[in-house]
């Protein structure tokens, strides 16, 4: 007989989450099509039908990454698993790795290098600025035996983008492999793996792909595969050993490695289909269009960006908190009164910025207008000088200007 003392102290019923609008640094809103795909019947991870879908997933991911890399698949776990998979397979004890830190996630790369027994050569840049290619080149000249360069393409903690092709070119110049964090960039801004000659790249399902969290799309070049074959000892992680994982995700007979997150993979398949249907160019343009309108509204309220215009991520807006405004109270009020989630600053930026996401399915005009209206209302209640409707009017005007410019472009192209 079971004992009542193990029962919870309060009655627990079914869990029903509130309907939020997600405009923070992730996750983004998940579209109904993707949620419906998650609810499809679960089948076995070696079922021939599921195996066929896995091949489609790899093909769709190659499109999203713009690569022909055979070793392209969704790792079972969040972006952090994709990151660790790259490091544990590419870094051996004693290897020098040049790691660029200009935010939180560059710091996590350093931690990965050290846990692999590697030696991290850290290139520091201020939070809110891109990685400086000259500093990277200088680091290689001082450490010509460095085997890997690791950096973040789109730093989620600051909303800043770094120059991938410039950095990977430096790595190749010195005979090193590259590891690129594209967690926040994939499908939001151009990610051109083959053109930029990236060796290892990882992303997350929950950002601009607007899928459920818990999957990490990854892609590895032939150079990485050759490096794996030349390793002196086994990968330190059994779960993330690419040799073993490929037995399941490879192109020949599939062998059991781990129980795949089947329904989450259904969802990723659907979200990648939506990316293909929209088209990458159109997805990048959509994120840029809604950013321009959002920026116009924020600036009309007198708010300032952390990052210089030419380095900003359209899908992740880091906004300075005005003097005298309680940033945490603003976030709480937006959540409790408007069901609107935005993000806080991390590390040295805690309490100093808000992070507004316009990622994937969340990158819509209705979300832009809701956020501007709600934020203006909350700030006005706190005594910040905001005129009612000014931000919304500025955003509407920007949308009108962008629409007119696009119409002119189409007429010119058709002439």
pLDDT value at position 251?
A: 67
For residue 382, what are the contacts with CB-CB under 8 A and spacing of at least 6? 325, 326, 329, 330
pLDDT value at position 411?
A: 86
Digits of tens for pLDDT over the chain (415 positions)? 667 777 787 888 999 999 999 999 999 999 999 999 999 999 998 899 998 999 999 999 999 999 999 999 999 999 999 999 999 999 999 999 999 999 999 999 999 999 999 999 999 999 999 999 999 999 999 999 999 999 999 999 999 999 999 999 999 999 999 999 999 999 999 999 999 999 999 999 999 999 999 999 999 999 999 999 888 889 999 999 998 887 778 766 677 788 889 999 999 999 999 999 999 999 999 999 999 999 999 999 999 999 999 999 999 999 999 999 999 999 999 999 999 999 999 999 999 999 999 999 999 999 999 999 999 999 999 999 988 899 999 999 999 999 999 999 888 888 7
**pLDDT, tens only, 339-354:** 999 999 999 999 999 9
In this prediction the pTM is 0.96
Tokens 């129980």 -> residue: 259
Q: How far is it, in rounded angstroms, from Cα 331 to Cα 268? A: 30
Angle at 126 between CA 123 and CA 131, to 5 degrees: 50
Structural domains in the chain, sorted by start: 32-276 (3.40.640.10), 280-414 (3.90.1150.10)
pLDDT value at position 136?
A: 98
For residue 255, what are the contacts with CB-CB under 8 A and spacing of at least 6? 247, 248
136: which 2 tokens? 């990277």
pLDDT value at position 54?
A: 92
pLDDT value at position 22?
A: 98
Query: Phi and psi of 84, rounded to 5°?
Result: -65, -35
Angle at 207 between CA 202 and CA 212, to 5 degrees: 95
Element (H, E) at 133: helix 133-142
> Helices (DSSP H) in 279-344: which residue ranges?
280-300, 327-338
Q: Which residue, 390, 401, 402, is CA-closest to 298? A: 390
pLDDT value at position 252?
A: 63
């Amino acid at each position: 007989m079971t004992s009542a003392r193990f029962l919870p102290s309060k009655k627990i019923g079914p869990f029903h989450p509130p309907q939020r609008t997600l405009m923070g640094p992730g996750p983004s809103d998940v579209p109904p099509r993707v949620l419906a795909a998650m609810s499809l019947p679960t089948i076995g991870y070696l079922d021939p039908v599921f195996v066929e879908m896995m091949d489609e997933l790899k093909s769709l991911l190659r499109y999203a990454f713009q690569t022909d890399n055979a070793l392209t698949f969704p790792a079972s776990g969040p972006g952090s698993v994709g990151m660790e998979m790259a490091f544990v397979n590419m870094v051996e004890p004693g290897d020098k790795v040049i790691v660029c830190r200009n935010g939180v996630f560059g710091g996590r790369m350093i931690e990965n290098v050290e846990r692999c027994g590697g030696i991290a050569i850290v290139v520091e840049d201020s939070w809110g600025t891109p990685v400086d290619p000259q500093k990277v080149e200088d680091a290689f000249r001082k450490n010509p035996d460095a085997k890997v360069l690791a950096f973040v393409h789109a730093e989620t903690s600051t909303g800043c983008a770094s120059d991938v092709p410039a950095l990977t070119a430096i790595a190749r110049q010195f005979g090193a492999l590259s590891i690129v964090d594209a967690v926040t960039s994939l499908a939001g801004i151009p990610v051109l793996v083959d053109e930029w000659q990236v060796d290892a790249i990882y992303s997350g399902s929950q950002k601009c792909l607007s899928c459920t969290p818990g999957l990490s799309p990854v892609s590895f070049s032939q150079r990485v595969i050759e490096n794996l074959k030349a390793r002196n000892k086994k990968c330190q992680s059994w779960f993330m050993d690419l040799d073993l994982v490929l037995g399941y995700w490879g192109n020949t007979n599939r062998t059991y490695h781990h129980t795949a997150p089947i329904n989450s993979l259904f969802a990723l398949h659907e979200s990648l289909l939506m990316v293909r249907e929209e088209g990458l160019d159109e997805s990048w343009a959509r994120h840029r269009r809604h950013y321009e309108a959002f920026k116009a509204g924020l600036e009309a309220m007198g708010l300032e960006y952390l990052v210089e215009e030419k380095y900003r991520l359209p899908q992740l807006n880091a906004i300075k908190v005005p003097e005298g405004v309680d940033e945490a109270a603003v976030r709480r009020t937006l959540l409790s009164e408007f069901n609107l989630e935005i993000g806080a600053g991390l590390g040295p930026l805690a309490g100093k910025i808000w992070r507004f996401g316009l990622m994937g399915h969340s990158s819509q005009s209705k979300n832009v207008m809701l956020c501007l209206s709600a934020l203006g209302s909350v700030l006005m209640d706190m005594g910040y000088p905001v005129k009612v409707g000014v931000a919304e009017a500025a955003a509407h005007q920007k949308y009108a200007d962008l629409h007119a410019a696009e119409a002119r472009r189409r007429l010119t192209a058709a002439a």
